Amino acid sequence: MSPRWPFVPMVFCAALAVASGAVAQVVVLFARGPSAGAYPAGRVLPANQVVSLKAGDRLELLDGSGSHVLTGPAIVTAGHVEPRVRDELIGVFLKAQHSRPGIAASRGLGDGAPAAPGLWQVDVGVDGAVCLSKGAAAGLWRGPSTVSATVRITRPGTGETVNVSLPPDQPDVVWPAGLPTIDGERYVLTLDDGSTTALVWTILDPAPSALGDLATALLDKGCYDQLGRVQSAFAAE
């Protein structure tokens, strides 16, 4: 199946480079406490978003200058992305466009199809490499739906199969604990309609230390769907 989130054309990326109001975003690395559900690991937040933390909350964010820990109770700004980092991200997006020519025409950013909200969530409708930062928890995402669904995950190397149930109105679940997310491990996902997608886990080790490093790693490892999510959030700013 085609990637769900293609890259915008180069001319649009170039326009972003000169847009005075353009900013990038920050990524949640770790969340603990009563507000953890609102900021799951891998969630992409707009830069300068106001974050409300309660007593006992601990939130680690990755932005253009590195990782930062926020603790509650507090009302704080999510992060800051300097123009240098913004330009670095645009450079990565342009390289992605060169490496995947024609992908922008296959599916438009404005077609209304939602993307997985977290970087470490596997989109069941997309083939290809899936990057996972070392130590991060993986998830499985099928998008908004009012009906139940079952995803059969097969590990070709061993023949092991696990059925994952998705109740109505639940777009995502955690990746099955019994199926290891190790570098190079391949899985085949079979949906209710019989269609299949395949993924190969790619572990980012060491974990990227800044937002630009993360985008570069996603590009270098061929995790185009995830890089597309970062770019989509960037373009929406």
Confidence band (pLDDT; 50, 70, 90) for 23?
A: very low
Write down the pLDDT at residue 235.
Answer: 56
Place of tokens 């507000």: 35
Q: Is residue 106 domain-resident? A: yes
Please check whether residues 133 and 220 belong to one and the same domain: yes
DSSP state letter for 210: S
Domains held by the chain: number:
2
In a domain, 3, yes or no: no
Kindly state whether residues 132 and 188 are assigned to the same domain.
Answer: yes
* Residue 145 counted as domain residue: yes
Together in a domain, 89 and 157: yes
112 and 210 both lie in a single domain? yes
Q: Which domain holds residue 92?
A: 84-236
**Whole-number pLDDT of residue 132:** 93
User: Dmax of the chain from CA atoms?
Assistant: 53
What one-character DSSP code corresponds to residue 103?
A: G
Percent of the chain residues past pLDDT 90, beyond the cut = 30
Q: Look at residue 97 in the predicted model and tell me its pLDDT.
A: 72
Which residue type is seen at 221?
K
**Same-domain check for residues 203 and 187:** yes
| Residue 6 resides in a domain | no
For residue 114, the model assigns a pLDDT of 67
Residue 113 belongs to some domain of the structure: yes
Strand order in the sheet with 172-174: 121-123, 139-141, 172-174
12 located within any domain: no
122 and 178, same domain (yes or no): yes
57 and 71 together in one domain: yes
Q: Are residues 164 and 183 in the same domain?
A: yes
- 154 in the same domain as 75: no
List pLDDT tens digits, range 87-144.
777 777 778 776 664 333 333 333 345 677 788 999 999 999 999 988 888 999 998 8
User: Between 17 and 146, where is the model more confident?
Assistant: 146
Does pLDDT of 198 surpass 70? yes
| pLDDT value of position 81 | 59
Average pLDDT of the residues of the chain: 77
Closest CA to 25 of 9, 56, 48: 48
Q: In sequence order, what are the beta bridge partners of 165?
A: 150
81 close to 63: Cβ distance less than 8 angstroms: yes
Tokens of 46: 């707009």
Q: Is residue 20 part of a domain?
A: no
Domain match, 109 and 191 both? yes
CA distances to 92, 119, 139, 183, 196 from 132, in Å: 19, 8, 10, 9, 21
Q: Are residues 210 and 119 in the same domain?
A: yes
Q: Is 40 within the bounds of a domain?
A: yes
Enter the pTM of the model: 0.71
